Chain A
Amino acid sequence: MAASAAKAKSAKPVSAAAGISNTFSEFTKDEDFTALREMLKIRRFEEKAGQLYGMGLIGGFCHLYIGQEAVVVGVQMAQNDGDQVVTSYRDHGHMLATGMDANGVMAELTGRSGGYSRGKGGSMHMFSREKAFFGGHGIVGAQVPIGTGLAFANKYRGDGQVALTYFGDGAANQGQVYESFNMAKLWKLPVVYIIENNRYGMGTAAHRVSATTDFSQRGRSFDIPGEQVDGMDVRAVRAAALRAIEHARSGEGPYIIEMQTYRYRGHSMSDPAKYRAKEEVQKMRDERDPIEQVRKRLLDNGWSTEEELNQIDKDIRATVNASAEFATNDPEPDVSELWTDVYL
């Protein structure tokens, strides 16, 4: 699903502190279909994961990505094969976007042997070397030095790859993030920092814990360019990601894109989300939903019909249901797995 930079006809570099970036090119019909399918796959997968959690099939912590789908799908549409992805514990969407198999992801959520980590990682700790997905990290902010280190390896090898390092508005206040910014800029590492600002770090609104809330400017002390992006519009996301990735790949060093997004569900499954008004969530769903925006375009442009879109949804549901079926019937890991994979 990699797209060449040439497709972004009207993309222009945006200077630091330029405010929200609305510079993007329209999607072609194919691109809108791709975006719809990928986002819908994540949405349906997460809804199903929520349901399996409710049935007690998924345990512990389970952080859903519903509402934020345009971010990872838009970035994925701008990156090349081989570019690495690393993120926090809200990671199911990123895994599906990198092309990881829904069965393997769902079976890891249920702690079964067919999961990506053979049931030993769970929701927050999944990896795929094949898809260059480096986790899945449960410690807030810890993935930022790691993503910077992936970029270090890229530069060391001169392989032209870029490390896409995702973190949230909450992690943006972590000390190790700024240690990483400093070295990334100092050594001109090919890393793109994607800050998924979904407005709340668990139950705390960003403005209550952040002295400045324009997270795109958090790299200013290190002269790292950044821009704020409408993270609910997959076109704006892809355009910004193309700019950022191009900057990093060309040897200019790191770039920050703050994706202004929103999660519809609580921080995790056990979060009643009392810290925000129901109306706020509903307004987002009604007016800004990333999937609805694409659906509407496909219909308005005469590129598709309700029937066709319903069929796509049905097909995706079938895939997701199959993954749930697999993840429910797959056996738990063999007890001998307790002792494996501690050392190589």
Chain B
Amino acid sequence: MPIEVLMPALSPTMETGKLAKWLKAEGDKVKSGDVLAEIETDKATMEVEAVDEGILGKILIKDGTEDVAVNTPIALLLEDGEDASAAPAPKKPEKADDTEKPEDKEKSEDTAAEQRAEENAPPVEPEKGPAPDTAPSAVAAPPKPSIEPDPEVPEGTEMVRQTVREALRDAMAEEMRRDGDIFLMGEEVAEYQGAYKVSQGLLDEFGAKRVIDTPITEHGFAGIAIGAALAGLRPIVEFMTWNFGMQAMDQIINSAAKTLYMSGGQMGCPIVFRGPNGAAARVAAQHSQDYAAWYSQVPGLKVVAPYTAADFKGLLKAAIRDPNPVIFLENEILYGQHFEVPKLDDFVLPIGKARIARSGTDVTIVSFSIGMTYALKAAEELAGQGINAEVIDLRTIRPMDVDTIIESVKKTNRCVTVEEGWPQSGVGSEIASQLMEKAFDHLDAPVLRVTGKDVPMPYAANLEKLALPSVAEVIDAVKAVTYR
């Protein structure tokens, strides 16, 4: 059977081309790899190579023919002893609507630009082959994760007063005792005992094999930890602060978050990235950034940002056990704060469940991490003024427990969000959108966001204070939505 040589598509966007020149003549012997012809596309002159061996039997499209559609037979290749006349009549040049042809392709202006974008930004894939039977809208709803509520703390359980720092250390130590595949790596985590003393004592207990000081190369060691996680270990990566973790963002997003999907479910990446997030005090713009909203946009990541020591402990243990990459956001100012932590052998909390920190009826205040300090203080003061606020501590930013927020808003009909991060596309913006889409009829006032100001963090003490949210701003927002 003669083999049809087809007009090839030589770029993701090519529809037609000019058959500029045949470099082989009828009767020539060709082997795979030989250049048969030159084709001019809208961007460049490209060569058509033979894939099969044989004799160029018949040229179907002559030199200089313009606008030859992709997949049109341009020549027949014969096996030894075959006759071109034995060939079936070639199909007519195919039209753009032929099913074998790429559809809906857009013309690209510029080969160079397209190629520059190549590794980083693959284009939207033009649809190939038969169209799916079902329209995409039929599967528009992602499955909802089912998340168990917090475990019951048995009555009479002893409560221990602990700092957030101690709770984090205990969480890591308990998990590392349980599973030898868990290790901690980061800058100053071992011999220095942690830049913020979170890993105090871990080197002594677990040794240098499992508590590992790294060079100051976040991109590199995050990637190494991801490789170890793909191989089945369970790394905890401490970033001295999340500001430095930004160096590792490509590895976190492109390698840790996406590999499970890109591998069709083969390559899980059980890893925790943790460290202090957001503003500390007087450390200025480069060391004072909240990454909650950034990472919460990425499918494949879980993002946890607790407030109390008990939540830090229970959620860090959950993060370490989770088979997915978890972004665990701590806060330097919270490290030294004391909270009650239940004394239990194995206190693990569910990722993805918000906590009602204070019950109320007049307004719902939603916050997380250090934002909770403003929210709770404001609620306290508002109570004195006769406004009974419900305060929700999100604890997990992704997956977000929207149901708990909606249930609360059904009761209060008003919502104020509080976060230290920037306003645009922030966590509060997401909550406002969710409420608009799912609880619009329950809202008696617009959702208001109290956020960090839309500026890099200033150094001067007075300006820094202004750049952060304040209790007064939360109170003002609550009064605005309750029309007081």
Interface residues of A (CB under 8 A from B): 44, 47-48, 50-51, 53-57, 59-61, 66, 84, 86, 89, 110-111, 115-122, 124-129, 134-140, 142, 144-154, 156-157, 163, 175-176, 178-180, 182-183, 186, 202-203, 264, 267-272, 274, 285, 317, 332, 335-336, 338-344
Contacts and interface: CB of A to CB of B under 8 A. Distances in A.
A60 B123 CA distance: 7
B231 interface: yes
Contact of A342 (B10, B45, B111, B260): B260
Contacts of A176: 219-220, 223, 251
A335 B122 contact: no
Interface string B225-267: 1111111110000000000000000110011000111111111
A146, A182, A202, A317 — most chain B CB neighbours (10 Å): A146
A154 B225 CA distance: 12
A88 B281 CA distance: 42
Given A180-B224, A335-B139, A53 B128 contact: no
Contacts of B215: 179, 182-183, 186
Nearest to B225: A149
The 3 closest A-B pairs by CB, nearest first: A149-B227, A145-B223, A179-B220
Contacts of B463: none
Nearest to B210: A156
Contacts of B266: 116-117, 127-129
Contacts of A135: 259, 262-263, 267
Interface stretch (B113-121, B160-168, B356-364): B113-121
Interface in B86-120: 100-102, 111, 114-115, 118-120
Nearest to B220: A179
B213 to A, nearest CB: 10
Contacts of A134: 227, 230-231, 267
Given A150-B227, A179-B221, A335 B132 contact: yes
Nearest to B133: A335
Nearest to B219: A176
B111 A125 contact: no
A111 B259 CA distance: 16
A340 B263 CA distance: 11
By secondary structure, the A interface counts as loop
A100 to B, nearest CB: 12
By secondary structure, the B interface counts as loop
A47 B10 contact: no
A111 to B, nearest CB: 7
Nearest to B135: A335
A316 to B, nearest CB: 11
Given A50-B8, A202-B115, A344-B265, 16 more contacts: A47-B51, A55-B100, A61-B122, A125-B262, A144-B223, A146-B227, A149-B229, A176-B220, A176-B251, A182-B217, A183-B220, A183-B221, A203-B115, A267-B118, A332-B129, A341-B261
B251 A267 contact: no
A264 B215 CA distance: 40
A267 B112 CA distance: 12
B228 A150 contact: yes
Contacts of A150: 227-228, 230-231
Given A179-B215, A179-B217, A142 B223 contact: yes
B384 interface: no
Given A129-B266, A268-B118, A332-B132, A145 B126 contact: no
Contacts of B139: 335-336, 338-339
Contact of A344 (B10, B71, B219, B324): B324
B100, B139, B264, B267 — most chain A CB neighbours (10 Å): B264
Given A54-B10, A61-B122, A343 B224 contact: no
Given A137-B255, A152-B224, A335-B138, A270 B231 contact: no
B472 interface: no
A115, A116, A142, A342 — most chain B CB neighbours (10 Å): A342
A1 to B, nearest CB: 22
Contact of B9 (A54, A125, A268, A336): A54
A300 to B, nearest CB: 20
B286 interface: no
Contact of B219 (A121, A175, A202, A343): A175
Interface in B253-299: 254-255, 259-268, 299
B33 A264 contact: yes
Given A118-B264, A267-B115, A332-B129, A47 B231 contact: no
Nearest to A58: B128
A183 B214 contact: yes
A55 B6 contact: yes
B433 interface: no
26 contacts: A51-B8, A54-B9, A55-B8, A111-B128, A118-B264, A119-B264, A127-B267, A135-B263, A136-B262, A139-B254, A145-B222, A145-B224, A145-B227, A146-B230, A148-B223, A153-B227, A182-B220, A183-B214, A183-B221, A270-B10, A272-B45, A272-B46, A274-B44, A335-B139, A343-B302, A344-B324
